[in-house]
């Protein structure tokens, strides 16, 4: 039996801030001198990011009038974890609801009460009763819906949510699984001049993505059959990509060595995935790669012989949203889904994501493009491939 990623909805907070404005905010907040300001602005220019979204308007302001950070030159007293979690609790629910509504609009035959499993994913905030229960109440899901939370796994967490959804559907063909990945990365800005923090501050934005997984594709249009998953851990990267809770927020470690480690492990990851299926890398023309950063995308292209056009959906998401942690790869898959036509039916799609550990996740999907009367034959064909 095969399971299908049937729809993906996305949502962003209202504050769209151009990358140069964020650089100006950071330079002022870090109280950098002129030479260091120029270096920081150069880092932001080469990031591949044109703009990011935030629940905080402060990043577009350099002359005070902040709503979250103190209106002092050094932003002291700096916001505590408790204050940041208060912002998370205020904004995570409405952003998640917007993503779910966008997702379910694409599958009109599915009502909220039809959802049997809810998987919530986040590494940027938590509370209890949590986002999962609030979604049940707000969306009108069944109070008997089976809830699972995937927390604090970072940028690759959507893959674990998809693995869970796949397992639920394989165990119960009537299952209808809703995944919600919501990340408010920008509430965790760290006022620190170390390189790891400067890089993290230059990359991350806020967003939410919701995905629907079940044992049959949509009746009209494209779905993605979940064909196979594979995971590898690069132990040498244990300290180079990490995520810690400290007194003044969640602190991301993202060293400049990460692209090299991904380069070292990406071929083994790809070979391990494709060894499970009668598919060669040369057969794959569609890719959905988590844009952890421009350098990471370029490194994967060099190692696997891909082009920037192969990676176009990842570059588009990076440019328009930045890195939104776990939600990001679903944004990339959303863009890919929107581009599919009947000619893409049965095309393989290769997807990657990376996170703390250093963890490398891979997934192979197959396009199932249905046109009403052809649903049965497409499902059978996809099942044979799976």
Alpha-carbon distance 299 to 306, whole Å? 10
Instruction: Give the other-Cβ count within 10 Å of 150's Cβ.
Output: 20
Alpha-carbon distance 351 to 44, whole Å?
A: 26
Compute the distance between CA of residue 280 and CA of residue 300 in angstroms, rounded to an integer.
17
Catalytic residues: 155
Check: CB of residue 152 under 8 Å from CB of residue 180.
no
Cα R_g (the chain), whole angstroms: 21
Closest CA relative to residue 121, chosen from 107, 102, 135: 135
Reference 163, options 358, 5, 360; nearest CA is 5
Around Cβ 204, how many Cβ atoms within 10 Å?
A: 26
Please give the backbone phi and psi of residue 173, each rounded to the nearest 5 degrees, phi first: -60, -15
């Amino acid at each position: 039996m095969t399971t299908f990623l049937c729809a993906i909805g996305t949502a962003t907070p209202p504050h769209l801030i151009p990358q140069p404005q964020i650089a100006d905010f950071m330079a002022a907040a870090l109280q950098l001198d002129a030479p260091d300001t120029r270096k920081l602005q150069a880092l932001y220019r080469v990031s591949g990011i044109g703009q990011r979204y935030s629940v905080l308007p402060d990043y577009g302001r350099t002359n005070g009038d902040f709503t979250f950070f103190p209106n002092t030159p050094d932003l002291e007293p700096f916001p505590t974890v408790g204050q940041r979690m208060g912002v998370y609790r205020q904004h995570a629910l409405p952003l998640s609801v917007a993503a779910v509504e966008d997702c379910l609009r694409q599958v009109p035959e599915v009502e909220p009460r039809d959802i049997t499993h809810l998987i919530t994913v986040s590494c940027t905030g938590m509370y209890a009763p949590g986002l999962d229960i609030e979604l049940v109440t707000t969306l009108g899901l069944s109070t008997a819906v089976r809830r699972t939370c995937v927390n604090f796994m970072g940028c690759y967490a959507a893959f674990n949510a998809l693995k869970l959804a796949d397992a639920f559907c394989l165990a119960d063909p009537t299952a209808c699984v809703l995944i919600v990945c919501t990340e408010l990365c920008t509430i965790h800005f760290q006022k620190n001049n170390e390189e790891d923090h400067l890089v993290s501050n230059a990359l991350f934005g806020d967003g939410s993505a919701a995905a629907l997984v079940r044992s049959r594709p949509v009746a009209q249009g494209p779905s993605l059959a979940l064909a196979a998953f594979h995971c590898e851990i690069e132990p040498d990267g244990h300290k180079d990509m990490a995520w810690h809770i400290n007194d003044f927020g969640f602190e991301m470690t993202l060293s400049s060595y990460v692209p090299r480690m991904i380069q070292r492990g990406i071929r083994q990851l790809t070979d391990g995935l494709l060894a499970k299926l009668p598919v060669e890398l040369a057969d794959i023309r569609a890719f959905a790669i988590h844009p952890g950063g421009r350098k990471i995308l370029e490194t994967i292209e060099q190692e696997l012989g891909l082009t920037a056009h192969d990676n176009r959906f990842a570059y588009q998401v990076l440019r328009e949203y930045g890195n939104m942690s776990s939600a990001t790869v679903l944004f990339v898959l959303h863009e890919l889904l929107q581009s599919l036509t009947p000619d893409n039916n049965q095309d393989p799609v290769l997807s990657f994501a990376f996170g703390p550990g250093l963890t490398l996740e891979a997934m192979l999907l197959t396009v199932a493009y249905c046109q009403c009367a052809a649903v049965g034959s497409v499902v059978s064909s996809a099942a044979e491939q799976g």
